[in-house]
């Protein structure tokens, strides 16, 4: 009898993701490209043979956090060496890597690989190269290669009932505060056929809800095999023909690209959920112009009106920046007024953070930190009030809930309403994966409770 060949130990990969949903998608894809060379994902950095920090450069705090986390990774590596557990490959990916690759190599020379968001399909090659490198220096790959990385990535597998699907990347809008056009590069739309194939695969794996992702997702203009160009509205219509796909969402939209076809899709396509993240950033025309947003307050208001004409119950969410250079009390008051007028169910608000290389960072009239703090508090208080009021208004209503998994307590399931609110309900686990019409009986600040479903 021959001895079985010794099993090669699967190597473990730990990925920490910062920033936006696009980074979440990218982290999963990096795990996919490393799987064929033996890496399996772990949630424990202590047991990893390789760590990837998938970073975000959007605000200073996010970017600085990477350097402190890198220090921690270095200590992990030292502990492993002490235990004789082998080396630890340390990689930095994402938007900080793209923007500050050389700086990372200088400030953290123990990093093995620095790679930008457009080159992660080359990861296996980079890992092999890093293993061969003997000069103790890391490898930097922050090119914007002419070939789109999507052509080189394995088809993602659906895990669970909801999935992200990147359809568009990059940005040509150059808002004066924002690093994204520099870190992600020019706008690129994936071909429609590739997206449909990926979506069908996800649905075959059990996914019932897909969120289409892009830095400017509604600027989508993808090529078809016949040489035509599809808008996001057209793509949504095609996705809606996939029988088992119950829900479609998209993120993040720009007001400038919100065309009539897409707004009408909210009326015409039942699978397209009545929830829209449509960042306005500020309510003052003077500030919107200084931000180079390419839309004013009135344009935004008209979009909201039109959307509500098509779909009366559409729930809106937005991003806001307070304390943009030159923002006066009257400008901030205009933001507050717009918020009260529109009414949001969800929102993300930030203090302006000056980012290197962006036009606004060089403007005089930077707003003092204490003024930014006070404005942020006032804005967040109003937004929280609106969110609570919306949740409370759902009590007594029957809402369709996609049941996505087990809840926190025994016998409880968790799900989401069309408006993206988390819902908890006592129900049998057999209901997971279905869309159930549930009576809402309770509202917390961030979630809803539905009446138990009888077994
Ligand atoms: N493409 C999206 C936004 C992507 S960045 C859009 O155009 O809406 C996500 C959010 O981060 C932005 O909407 C903005 O509110 C915030 N943000 C971007 N740069 C920032 C900065 N320099 N300071 C503070 N917040 C910023
Ligand atoms: Fe940044 Fe503006 Fe582009 Fe959004 S549209 S990613 S805020 S530059
Ligand atoms: Fe951050 Fe890059 Fe996303 S800067 S918000 S991770 S596109």
277 lines ligand 1 (CB under 6 A): no
Tell me how far apart the alpha carbons of residues 400 and 421 are, in angstroms, rounded to a whole number.
11
202-214 in b/e form (b: 16+ CB < 10 A) is bbeeebbbbbbbb
Rounded distance from Cα 181 to ligand 2 centre (Å): 7
| Of 70-74, 135-139, 292-296, the least confident | 135-139
Ligand closest to the CA atom of residue 118:
3
pTM for the model stands at 0.94
Q: 382: Cβ–Cβ under 8 A, 6 or more apart, which residues?
A: 336, 339, 340
pLDDT at residue 225, as a whole number: 93
Dihedral angle of Cα 107, 113, 118, 121, to the nearest 10 degrees? -170
Q: Give the CATH number of domain 398-452.
A: 2.40.50.140
Atom of ligand 2 minimally distant from the CA of 215: 6
pLDDT per position as a tens digit, 168-187: 999 999 999 999 999 999 99
| Any atom of ligand 3 within 6 Å of the Cβ of 114 | no
Contact yes or no for 139/130 (Cβ under 8 A): yes
Question: What pLDDT, on the 0 to 100 scale, is given for residue 84?
Answer: 84
Q: In whole angstroms, what is the distance from residue 238 CA to residue 192 CA?
A: 9
Q: For residue 181, how far is the Cα from the chain centroid?
A: 16
Judge if the upstream peptide bond of residue 392 is cis by omega within 30 degrees of 0: no
SS3 of residue 57 by DSSP: coil
Q: Which CATH architecture is the domain 155-273 placed in? A: 2-Layer Sandwich (3.30)
pLDDT digits (tens, 9 = 90+) for 264-298: 999 999 999 999 999 999 999 999 999 999 999 99
- Which ligand lies nearest the alpha carbon of 22? 3
**């539905």: which residue's tokens?**
450
297 lines ligand 1 (CB under 6 A): no
The answer to whether 288 touches 324, Cβ cutoff 8 Å, is no
Of all residues in the chain, what percent are helix, strand and coil, respectively (each to 5)? 40, 20, 40
pLDDT number for residue 6? 47
- Which ligand approaches the C-alpha of residue 277 most closely? 1
| Residue 42, number of CB atoms within 10 A of its CB | 18
Mean of the pLDDT values across residues 373-394? 98
| Number of CB atoms found within 10 A of residue 226's CB | 7
Residue 7 confidence (pLDDT) above 70: no
Confidence of residue 146 (pLDDT cuts 50, 70, 90): confident
Say if ligand 3 is within 6 A of residue 95 CB. Answer: yes
- Is 264 in a helix, a strand, or coil? helix
Dist. CA 19 → ligand 3 center (Å): 5
d(CA 56, CA 353): 13
What atom in ligand 1 is closest to the CA of residue 20?
A: 9
For the chain, which residues make up each domain, given as ranges?
11-141, 155-273, 398-452
Q: What is the pLDDT of residue 8?
A: 60
DSSP 256-288: GG--HHHHHHHHH-TTB-SEEE---B-S-HHHH
137-151, 252-266, 302-316, 375-389: segment of lowest average pLDDT: 137-151
- The region that residue 180 occupies, defined by phi over 0 for left and psi between -120 and 50 for alpha, beta otherwise, is alpha
CATH entry, 11-141, from 3.40.50.720, 3.90.1150.10, 3.40.640.10, 3.40.50.12160: 3.40.50.12160
pLDDT surpassing 70 at residue 455 = no
């Amino acid at each position: 009898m021959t001895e079985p060949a010794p099993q090669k130990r699967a190597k473990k990969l730990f990925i920490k993701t910062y920033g936006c949903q696009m980074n979440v998608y990218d982290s999963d894809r990096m795990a996919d490209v490393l799987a064929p060379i033996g890496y399996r994902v772990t949630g424990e950095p202590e047991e990893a043979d390789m760590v990837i920090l998938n970073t975000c450069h959007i605000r200073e705090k996010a970017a600085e956090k990477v350097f402190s986390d890198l220090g921690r990774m270095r200590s992990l590596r030292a502990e492993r060496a002490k235990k004789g557990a082998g080396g630890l490959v340390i990689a930095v990916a994402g938007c900080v890597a793209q923007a500050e690759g050389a700086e990372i190599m200088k400030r953290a020379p123990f990093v093995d690989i620095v790679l930008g968001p457009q080159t992660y399909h080359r990861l296996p090659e980079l890992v092999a190269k890093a293993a061969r490198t003997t000069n103790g220096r890391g490898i930097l790959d922050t090119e914007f290669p002419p070939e789109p990385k999507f052509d080189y990535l394995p088809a993602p597998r659906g895990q669970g009932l909801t999935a992200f699907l990147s359809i568009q990347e990059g940005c040509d809008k150059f808002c004066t505060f924002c690093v994204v056009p520099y870190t992600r590069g020019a706008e690129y739309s994936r071909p429609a056929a590739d997206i449909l194939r990926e979506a069908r695969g996800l649905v075959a794996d059990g996914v019932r809800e897909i969120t289409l992702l892009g830095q400017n997702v509604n600027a989508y203009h993808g090529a078809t095999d016949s040489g035509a160009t599809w808008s996001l509205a057209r793509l949504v219509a095609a996705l809606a023909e996939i029988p088992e796909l119950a829900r479609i969402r998209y993120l993040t939209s720009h007001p400038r690209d919100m065309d009539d076809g897409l707004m009408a899709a909210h009326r015409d396509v039942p699978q397209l959920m009545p929830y829209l993240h449509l960042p306005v950033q500020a309510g003052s025309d003077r500030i919107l112009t200084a931000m180079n947003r390419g839309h004013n307050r009135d344009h935004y208001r008209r979009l909201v009106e039109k959307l509500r004409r098509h779909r009366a119950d559409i729930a809106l969410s937005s991003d806001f920046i307070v304390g943009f250079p030159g923002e006066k009390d009257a400008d901030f008051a205009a933001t507050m007024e717009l918020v009260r007028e529109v009414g949001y169910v969800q929102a993300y608000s930030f203090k302006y953070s000056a980012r290197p290389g962006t036009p606004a960072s060089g403007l005089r009239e930077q707003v003092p930190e204490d003024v930014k703090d006070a404005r942020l508090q006032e804005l967040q208080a109003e937004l929280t009030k609106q969110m609570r009021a919306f949740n409370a208004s759902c009590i007594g209503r029957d809402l369709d809930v996609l049941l996505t998994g087990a809840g926190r307590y025994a016998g409880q399931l968790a799900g989401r309403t069309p408006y993206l609110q988390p819902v908890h309900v006592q129900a049998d686990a057999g209901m997971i994966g279905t869309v159930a019409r549930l009576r809402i009986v309770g509202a917390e600040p961030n979630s809803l409770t539905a009446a138990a479903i009888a077994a």
